[in-house]
A and B are shown apart, each in its own frame.
Chain A
């Protein structure tokens, strides 16, 4: 009897995998990324945005950053924090411990860049303002 069970087991095992054919008649799970994207959630930890007026220049953000991804940079006669997106680990500690909520992580997550410099969030209008917004 084991033989028969074995055979029917083997038989069912070879033909049940064809159940995948049902996927032909279903909508595919994947999205065509750059054109269709999931809606960003408002709590999502994406690219940084710095409010230049509110920033007191205390650099608590650069000290609390686990990867030392933030350091001061000269801009309009004063030092502001600059974020290196390559080093950042998106832990949002800088936003949590910034005394006057100047630096924030926006839900914007399109950070593909062709050149290394633009990976470092420079300060100019273009720098800290997310590009695609």
Chain B
């Protein structure tokens, strides 16, 4: 049927948020989801394309057209079921996903794209504590070990358990969730939601051993595990590479966010400088604001257009009072009787480098000094290579995986997925990788039997 031009030219329903004053000093959730009636209106804006670009753009190829249509019809349960086929924890992804599907939506250029993430989140929130979640289909006697409980590991465990394998997850840190818990602050992803979704994986009979580092793959094989999935993620922060970097006040953003997540108290002082432009930098800046520091500035080498962070996140940060210095990079760190001084240099954009973004060149003699209380470096993460499995490791510490979707590493029976393979990517890509790894492990186990 042909929608009228009025339906095409309706603006997007605005997503309700906490005002800046209420959220500045606490870790309450910033964005709460759509009300039902608003969500129905937003879902009815979808044009139901014949071959939807949003499905191709989504790394997990969720059937967005189907679940938005079901949301519009009011059949929320069917909508959630179509999501659960390819995504085990919709509530989490519904809050933190950088929604590539909305960039690919046909309405993106002129007509305000559909808020797929908010619709997915609404569907997930409806049935947070429902009990009809899918159970194990058929019990198989195989056993699979998953090292690392990040989104990739959890997703793979979920699907393997659903297929009937006995799955145990080994987690080095005291709590399960990997980057979901450590990297993402609770104002974006409340812990209650995360725990609810992880319990859903537990209900499938997945055993989770925390505080246990896996020493070597042979011990696991001896314990009767048929296959091992390495999903250790990318927790290794990249060093700034400038003098005076090892000053105690200069922290790594991953360690800073992990300490906050684990409940330790970190003293930052009033003036905080965050170096970097990704989501991690924005999160650490906003967390610093919530911890009480007055003046938080972000230094970023390039301009706003090239910032890898989400556009909405940057806007929220600016709304909350974070100042962003573009075209500036740290040069030297001075420590003057306890206080930290940071010497930065102005940059200008040159020819595009390997990543296609213009390469910043320092402008001679444009140094300027800034006195700060603490510095957080958030210029990127890299995967820490798990040597104990002696599998082939790439140049940046990422695990080399065979071509195609087998996710098999150099050693037979050991698979790898998530950030550990691809480097720091989005949550949804890790989940997609976990899903594919689960299928290839299933195929592997069937062939071995």
Q: A residues bordering B, Cβ < 8 Å?
A: 55-60, 62-64, 68, 71-72, 78-80, 97, 99-100
Contacts and interface: CB of A to CB of B under 8 A. Distances in A.
Nearest to A70: B2
A116 B19 CA distance: 61
User: Secondary structure at chain A's binding surface: helix, strand, loop or mixed?
Assistant: mixed
Contacts of B3: 59, 63
Among B7, B50, B52, the one with the most A-chain Cβ atoms within 10 Å of its Cβ is B50
A63 B110 CA distance: 13
A60 B51 contact: no
B4 A97 contact: no
A124 to B, nearest CB: 18
B107 A99 contact: yes
B2 A60 contact: no
B50 A100 contact: no
Contacts of A100: 53, 106
A57 B110 CA distance: 16
B50 A60 contact: no
Nearest to B109: A99
Nearest to A56: B49
Interface string B51-66: 1110000000000000
Contacts of A71: 2
A79 B50 contact: yes
A97 B50 CA distance: 17
A105 B111 CA distance: 22
B108 A99 contact: yes
* 4 smallest beta-carbon distances between A and B, as pairs: A57-B50, A58-B106, A99-B106, A58-B49
A59 B1 CA distance: 10
A57 B49 contact: yes
B8 A64 contact: yes
Given A64-B8, A99-B108, A59 B51 contact: no
Given A59-B2, A63-B2, A63-B8, A78 B108 contact: no
B413 to A, nearest CB: 42
Contacts of A58: 47, 49-50, 106-107
A29 B107 CA distance: 48
Interface residues of B, number: 18
Given A58-B106, A59-B47, A63-B2, 7 more contacts: A56-B51, A57-B50, A57-B51, A63-B3, A63-B4, A63-B5, A80-B50
Interface of B: 2-5, 7-8, 47, 49-53, 106-111
A100 B103 CA distance: 13
12 contacts: A56-B49, A56-B52, A56-B106, A59-B2, A59-B3, A59-B49, A60-B47, A63-B2, A64-B5, A72-B2, A97-B110, A99-B53
Contacts of B50: 55-58, 78-80
Nearest to A77: B50
Contacts of B8: 60, 63-64
B55 to A, nearest CB: 11
B177 to A, nearest CB: 37
A58 B107 CA distance: 9
Contacts of B110: 97
Contacts of A55: 50
Contact of B51 (A72, A78, A97): A78
Contacts of B5: 63-64
Nearest to B54: A56
Contacts of A68: 2
A64 B6 CA distance: 9
Nearest to A72: B2
A101 to B, nearest CB: 10
Contacts of A78: 50-51
Nearest to B46: A58
A18 to B, nearest CB: 58
A125 to B, nearest CB: 20
A82 to B, nearest CB: 12
Nearest to A99: B106
A62 B49 CA distance: 13
Contacts of A64: 5, 8
A72 B47 CA distance: 13
A68 B8 CA distance: 14
A70 B8 CA distance: 15
B48 to A, nearest CB: 8
Nearest to A64: B5
B68 to A, nearest CB: 13
A71 to B, nearest CB: 6
Contacts of B49: 56-59
B28 to A, nearest CB: 37
Contacts of B47: 58-60
A57 B2 CA distance: 12
